[in-house]
Amino acid sequence: MKVFIIGGTGFIGYHATLEFLKREHEVSTIAIPDIKLGKWFPSKVSVQYGDIFSMEQERMVEMLSGFDALVYAIGPDDRTTPDRPPYEFFHEKLALTTQKVFQAANLAKIKRAVILNSYFAYFDRKYPKKKLAIHHPYIQCRIEQAEYAIEAGGEQIDTMILELPYIFGTMPESARAPLWKSVFIDRFKNWNIIFFPKGGSTMITVEHVAEAIVDAMENGKKNQHYVIGDENITWKEMLTIMFSTYGKKKKVISLPKWIFLIVGKIRKWKMKRKEIYEGLDSYYLFSDILTDNFYIELSDQKERLQYSTGGVRESIVKTIETCRRFD
């Protein structure tokens, strides 16, 4: 297949590019020029630069014409704090932009497409009583992203939705600092003791995400949602591995849920006072997500994608070793 990856120089897009090439597909991509591409990036991949969020649809159709398949691997994640009401921001950046791209892909006669989405959409279906989409604008817009893409693709495009959990891995030559540096290392490196909820999450390596992307493109079923993962790991174990690798061993203490409900209320009040918007509501983040085990059950899937599993702990170590080089 001739595959076009939107975001092919990014963390996941880069590894997907390698996997497509490994399976002898032809790959082209568009990305923003935020890093210098060295010898580490495959020379056989055609790279163009541009901003999908501001691109006219006519230009998109021209860009996608002649390709068989599309991977959509861009968009803000749940860490983003927009400068405007969060639903408005995420709806535009996730749902509406994806809709415009898939309308263009339809006109360009793309046959198959994979969208990188979030495992929060899976948990919204699995735990309706949590009302995740109602409480969190980011989750609502991830659900809308999939719906809009499927609708825009119509009968022309077989669209597969990959719902991704926590992802670990690195890029070569320290091209990008792993996101975990700002999320966990920088936040907790000066703490002697880390107090954290008792929950945990499904986690996966970026290499296995890449395998799942390619398998979904080759064998996925039209309009199917695929939630993927390698292993279920508690926050305590994850943080222990992280800081042991970082060289600052810390005691991680899991506190009961009621304490973090108070923490969530205080954080939400502070964010509102500072007029900082969040895609994940602070209070409900602690009450419904971080204090629970967000573990996927592969048996819930109608059909499992073919990708390797395991090695998450080793990938966490490698990720944090790379984080140290960005200090």
pLDDT of res. 241: 96
250 in any annotated domain: no
CATH of the domain at 135: 3.40.50.720
pLDDT of res. 145: 98
Phi, psi of 202 (to 5 degrees): -70, 140
* Residues contacting 300, CB < 8 A, separation 6+: 122, 126, 227
Among 310, 290, 299, which Cα is nearest to 232's? 310
238 in any annotated domain: no
Handedness of CA 16, 21, 26, 27 (dihedral sign): positive
**Kindly report the CA angle at 102 between 28 and 135, in degrees rounded to 5?**
115
277 in any annotated domain: no
Q: What is the pLDDT along the chain (327 residues), one digit of tens a residue?
A: 999 999 999 999 999 999 999 999 999 999 998 888 989 999 999 999 999 999 999 999 999 999 999 999 999 999 898 888 999 999 999 999 999 999 999 999 999 999 999 999 999 999 999 999 999 999 999 999 999 999 999 999 999 999 999 999 999 876 778 989 999 999 998 899 999 999 999 999 999 999 999 999 999 999 999 999 999 999 999 999 999 999 988 999 999 999 999 999 999 998 888 888 999 999 999 999 999 999 998 766 656 899 999 999 999 999 999 998 888
109 in any annotated domain: yes
323 in any annotated domain: no
Range of the domain at 78: 2-176+202-230+295-309
- One-letter amino acid at 85 equals P
Among 113, 70, 115, 112, which Cα is nearest to 95's? 115
190 in any annotated domain: no
68 in any annotated domain: yes
Q: What is the rounded distance in angstroms from the CA atom of residue 114 to the CA atom of residue 72? A: 6
Domain count within the chain: 1
One DSSP character per residue, 178-200 reads: -THIIIIIHHHTT-SEEEE-S-E
Cβ atoms of 27 and 20 closer than 8 Å = yes
Q: Please give the structure tokens belonging to residue 300.
A: 């819930």
* Residues contacting 21, CB < 8 A, separation 6+: 27, 42, 44, 45
Count Cβ neighbours within 10 Å for each residue of 192-231 and write b for 16 or more, e otherwise.
eebebbbbbbbbbbbbbbbbbbbbbbeebeeebbbbbbbb
23 in any annotated domain: yes
pLDDT of res. 275: 86
- For 149-167, the pLDDT digits (tens) are 999 999 999 999 999 999 9
Among 168, 176, 56, 163, which Cα is nearest to 118's? 163
- One-letter amino acid at 272 equals K
SS3 of residue 38 by DSSP: coil
Q: Please give the structure tokens belonging to residue 80.
A: 């983003």
Among 127, 126, 115, 201, which Cα is nearest to 163's? 115
SS3 of residue 254 by DSSP: strand
Q: Please give the structure tokens belonging to residue 283.
A: 């209070």
- For 129-139, the pLDDT digits (tens) are 999 999 999 99
* H or E element that contains 251: strand 251-254
Cβ atoms of 2 and 25 closer than 8 Å = yes
